[in-house]
Chain A
């Protein structure tokens, strides 16, 4: 099973600041990595798939990069609605796995 590690666990930032979230895989997942956002009491929402492709309706301030084992989700300028939990997920090998999440909270 591929293990995903996310860092940091918590990111405390102010609106308007840039957020950089990391995800590392225990083995190469090629570009088969996605990012999801989850707000309290809600279902996850797909943000990025295949490392760098924005899902339908996702604002351009969200971007993804990386390949192999190291990936980054960048939020260029935080909006109030962006403070949430973010999970990475790999689809290279079954079982598909999620990282433990990074919480982006208001500083």
Chain B
């Protein structure tokens, strides 16, 4: 069974940093692209960042480019999102999602999400 377990969310002040992690199990992690997708309270979905299966290609939404860094450790089946210079508009539930391909395409499995709140 595919499982994705996010952690690292919480309350942070504007300008602060957080590192999200996503522990994956139930599939060959190194064979699939992974993504972070967020959802602000009461709002729609926004694709934040994606990474290829090998980690050699990364993708960012313009809203986070230069502030967020996606990475993965295929030896530990873990996906990361380093978030710096956080803003109030980054407040959202952040979902870790598995792609069905080795490059970003569509997400066939999702974690339950971790809430990031940016507020003073």
Q: Taking beta carbons and an 8 Å cutoff, which residues of A are in contact with B?
A: 1, 32, 34, 36, 38, 42-46, 49-50, 55-56, 87, 89, 91, 94-101
Does B56 touch A at the CB level, under 8 Å? Answer: no
A49's partner among B37, B100, B104, B113 (CB-CB below 8 A) is B100
**Which chain B positions have C-beta within 8 A of A95?**
47, 59-62
The 10 A-B pairs of least Cβ separation, nearest first, read A43-B110, A98-B45, A96-B47, A49-B106, A34-B106, A46-B108, A95-B61, A94-B59, A91-B105, A100-B44
**Contact count band on B:** 20 to 34
Beyond the given A44-B110, A46-B108, A89-B47, please list 20 additional residue pairs across the A-B interface where CB-CB is below 8 A: A32-B105, A34-B106, A42-B112, A43-B110, A43-B112, A44-B37, A44-B45, A44-B95, A44-B107, A45-B110, A49-B105, A49-B108, A50-B106, A91-B104, A91-B106, A94-B50, A94-B59, A95-B61, A96-B50, A101-B44
B106's partner among A38, A46, A97 (CB-CB below 8 A) is A46
**B64-120 at interface with A (beta carbon < 8 Å):** 95, 100, 104-108, 110-113
